[in-house]
Chain A
């Protein structure tokens, strides 16, 4: 049987999570600003010897198939793009959370990272293919972080999968968020939001974490970004990369059409691109989580 988590307990759980590394934290701050450019990212990475080494190792890994070795960090960063640098820093810094087995969802270790990476890639593709006026790099970062709350509440959902799955039904208008709330008093978006505050993540990322299943509730200024991640999340689940028992058990907010224009053909193209990009990134980035 599950028990409700009190607000105090939730705060304790959040406090027990290690802080992000200074580099990861600053990267998230800088790349969320509209007026930043790649040189800001380069300057930051250069100050962190470990991160510099990791970036060079990854850009020269087999997945990127470069003929000539890249030895300059400037070139490495511009080749990979800022989203992948953020992915490396966040993955290295919070790998344990991402790689954790989500037993409360009957989901194996590593599934969450794969789902998040899939969502990140899909959210970016959604922005690129729809031509929405949002940063596609930021959509990637937001996608990577959107489900971080599942790591926090999974242990408390242990043994609840059968009950949760039975609770979810279209007739009763209940999705898996409602099931989490009924079972432990909080859903994963709320838990993730508390962690976002503790990590002092930029507002737009915290907003995505809190509202990725209910984008209409997000602040107007961030709403398009939240919708992009909402669609990315659904695309990840449809492609077979969920996190166990909750996969496909969420509602699509059809109002996305006010912010993001995609038809069936574009969606199909997005899905193919996500598969291709995922193959490339998974092999090179996933190791970052394992080593923690």
Chain B
């Protein structure tokens, strides 16, 4: 079965039954997941940082890297599979955004990523129906296109669904 593997700052979508969309070891990065029941399309962006204004060149090269450029880019990509351009009818789920222990404000990138993503989703009238954010461990996430099922894993823990 096919697999689309997304690295840091990548985004991708699939409507091929049997395929998986996967990303490894989210630390403070957040995975934004869009499921479109109408077209049975699954999309994901692996977001590293909240705000693209710190490096416009990077945002152009890898829109999925920043929250504010990732979401429009993912919506545009998914619209090619017939999904609504503004995400109408899509199911949104979020995971990742971990922080190290005893973190201070500066190092809470995981938290800032999640907040920035929620703000942008809000501007589209979208909101997450499920989330597994924060804590202090890394997460690997895999979505099956056929079932629309999201499986998370982390060393030392039994796999869980989102």
Please give me the residue from chain A that is nearest to B9 by CB atom. Answer: A275
Pair B137/A248 contact, Cβ less than 8 Å: yes
Task: Report if A238 contacts B (CB, 8 A).
Answer: yes
Proximity string of chain A (252-280) to chain B, C-beta cutoff 8 Å, 1 when within and 0 when not: 11100100001111011101100110000
> For residue A160, which residue of chain B has the nearest CB?
B156
| Chain B 1-44 per-residue mask, 1 if CB under 8 angstroms from chain A, else 0 | 00000001100000000000000111111000000000000000
- Interface residue? A106 (CB, 8 A): yes
Specify which of A166, A244, A268 is in contact with B155 (CB 8 Å cutoff). Answer: A244
Across the interface, which residues of A come within 8 angstroms of B151, CB to CB? none
B100 touches A234 (CB 8 A): yes
Tell me the count of chain A residues lying within 8 A, CB to CB, of chain B. 40
27 contacts between A and B (CB under 8 A): A106-B156, A107-B155, A165-B137, A170-B102, A175-B101, A234-B107, A237-B138, A238-B27, A238-B98, A238-B100, A238-B110, A240-B138, A241-B25, A242-B27, A245-B155, A247-B27, A247-B138, A248-B100, A251-B100, A252-B100, A253-B102, A268-B54, A268-B109, A269-B54, A271-B49, A272-B54, A275-B8
| Other A-B pairs, 10, CB within 8 Å; known A170-B101, A248-B99, A267-B106 | A238-B109, A239-B8, A239-B28, A240-B138, A244-B155, A252-B102, A264-B105, A265-B54, A271-B109, A275-B9
Binding site for A on B (CB under 8 A): 8-9, 24-29, 48-51, 54-55, 58, 65, 98-107, 109-110, 112, 136-138, 155-157
